[in-house]
Structure 1
């Protein structure tokens, strides 16, 4: 896990995009190298949002204005805004901030330095003509169009982006020169509206040499005596930054799932190519080496416990179809040793095609085996007597409440008490007394049906609940228990014979009010009969 976290940090540090993770109190939990280089501030100088505002906005009025914008964005779920900040060197830069919640406690800031783009747009808008040197050597592709969208001129970068020569495109309609990946009708409709606007900006995809190029296209116009109106189109090739953005998105998706800090396995499913990448933790969690696992869905499916597979597949299918925000399931997987291990499986679709079909799904496996087994053990201990393994008084009381609303009437109750257990403890020790208790528990349990309930509710006291059992049947069960006690005395070497007093009673079947009071009355009556039997002998 530490290795995966370090790899993620190294990867984020190499991105050209600034990355900051902050908690709800404004403490910076992580800043990558890029943001420190972009601003010139050290990690020690910027530890909190308060530090950031103080450094980036030395002027108090500007500082308060930036804070208000940020608070407004959070309240209105606006995730993107450009800020003008002061660097450590004292100059200004324009940063595009994109912020999103990693979870309820953490926020992710993605920061892109767009200073050069802002400056270029401002210069282009403030001047009637483009200086020849800037036009020729601009880092963005620029074409000059007339009002009919015929190309008058193009710079070197434009030629480079679209792999065409300026001499071959002059006086041609721009849509006949560039190959749009988008629906041309939609683009033409928008272009027809550009003349009615002061400027137009959008992201457009082009096909260049059978490859897709992502470009940010900014179009604006200026009045011109010779051509009436000149239209400038500035094309910024953002293909590389798009790829980095996708890379960052992948890191973010994995970071969202791994930020809990637990030892987890990561899986990355490319559904289109039917390929799944598992990390080493995923394999080692189940006792495998990564080289032993095939990279397909069957690797996981073949390991899922048969009793858990149907629900796991349903939960996965529901998420793939967009019915749930994320995929979540807890199931058992078979380890290499053949044992079963509980896994919490969480995933999310990160990419869909135009038809809405899931293309890529990323998720994690978290080992919850100890948690599950501990919970089961706690549940068992809370309801069972440690010495005999029978149910305890707590479970017995809950069953009485539950059966009060059931249809399993008549209900019979048998109460038993070991005779002279205190004398046995005093004369032969508590270990011998425990033996008498265990033998009594075995004799009672072996006399009952699967659906019957037997509990040890005191040191020497037992109680049996018999659903759907009338008075005569309860008498037969009582006799059977006493017969088992006699068998114990014949087969076991005990210092004194085991003796148990038993009393039984049945709820009044003619009474339609089969409430808890009736069951308690039945129990109390059986208890009274048990004490009577202690003095009169066998029932």
Structure 2
């Protein structure tokens, strides 16, 4: 049995535990406080120290740059002074030479001077000598293959072959010559660079002389495999003169060179922390470096400080401070702990007496509980326990209310289950026996003979289900498999069969339940529905119309024999054949009508649709779609009959109505309708061409109407052959024809006329009579207000062509072509046309 603990012991344990925990937390708090303050002190000191070092590094680079600038300035000044001194020396030698030879002829004297200068030549490889005649501005002697420009006496800056030069010039007054000494500025700078590099390579600073300067020549600020070349690197001397790549990482995997190149590009300097090799060691350490670009030389000048030595400078001071404060902190902790223990003991003495009394009140309530009885909270002195007592009173009241509600619900549910229309039985397994634990009234009505349901509780199910022993086996299966089983059965009552749908499922290993629903009405309704469907099928098969019956899903559920004949489907038909024969378009019409019917509108009536059967024959059907309701099931009826012969006759009548019987061209009626349809801006420019057959009367009179009909048909063939698919060619009179051409300009019309004329000429070469036609055209681009004016213009142009100066020649050719030995033209006929 689990050991209990008294309230007194609990308080003692709580007090002692509180003291221990308080002491522990005070100690932990003190440790964390010390650690936090130490960490904060270290961080502040570290940041201040880093800041100091950063400023030191900046100052160091600034002093190096000042040093370089000073060296450059001093070296240049020193060089210029040296240049001036050398020029003065040569000037003095030249003056001495002049004084010795001044009595000689001027020309000889100048020649002597030039010989002297050529012998003297340049002072060295860096200083070049020039002599310029100031009067003619002609260079008399040059120690370098270039001619300096704009040379004046004194200090000079000029260019020679694109190279910057500095020097000094002085006038030799006896000959009015200008002595010039020049030197390459680049060579001077290179010597200065060499001196600076040599100095900085050996330069060290700091107490331990670990500080050094590193320099690299910047080639590409954007980085790359050779963005710079190392010039000075005392820590890694093997790098000097080699390319530097920005793809190098430090020990932490950072592309530190890319980082400082980005900073240098944006702001001209970079302050960066990264891991780098420690001097005089093979180890890497965290290094703080500062770099700037020295623009005159395009150098990256930098220096750094290794931060691993940082703690050595300030940890000793922090440790001394901690040792000084340690005794004071320990004394403070002891005092606080003693005060806390004293306060806790006093509180324990006060609380124990009061709490024991209040707990006794709660204990008496539970021991002597009666319905509607509550705890008297006036006797309780502790506020917290008073709250507990109030909560107990509230909970007790709610429990009493819930108990009443549960009793009411149990009674309601019991009656609900008892009188529900479905048969419900609860089973219990006792050893190898399965008995009825409970059942409702439905069981009494259908399954029991002599017993009432109260009497079957506790009975073995094999004795209960005497009418349906099959159900006994199913219940045993539920217990054996612990699964849900559904089954159907029927019982006889008063000479009638009653059908049930039963589901049985386990509640646990020893209990299961079955619910049986009476489905007798549904079975009878289904049978009645099947009988009505059979009657409908018989009726559909009797009528002389093809019929398809579809369900609400749009699937075909029945097809009669007439429909099979029309669709040419055999007895072993597949429903998919119906969809294929009807075609996607017609099936869309059917499903569309079903949607319309569902929206409350009438379906298609006598719609004409075309199908292609399995034998590839085209049929036209007259189709209607409607709906019927059968036993609350909505069905859709598609009826149709074959109207193919009627459709063909209608098309034949339509063809005759719109075509000329002699030429098979469109007739005047159809032509007018088409021209009226095309008479709008979408067809512009719209062209109409009218033709009139010349000499048809002569051909008819001389050769007979059969030959005249042949001439009409031949012209019709030529006009139709040269027309486009969008053009309409029609015979609009006995010997009159017209062609309407949408979207055709005047140029297009003339090309068509030219093609027709050429074809007529080819025909006349082989024909026994002369074929000729007059034409006229008009092009509508919006200028004709109506069809009458448009057509009249083309007709007028045709008559102008017909009665032109060539008319007599054309008639004569026609008459000549019909002459023969067998045909003798009457005199009046010649007179009429001549």
Q: TM-score, normalised by structure 1?
A: 0.48
Task: Report which of the two has the higher share of helix.
Answer: 2
**TM-score when normalising by structure 2:** 0.33
Larger radius of gyration: 2
RCO higher in 1 or 2 (8 Å CA, sep ≥ 6)?
1
More strand, by proportion: 1
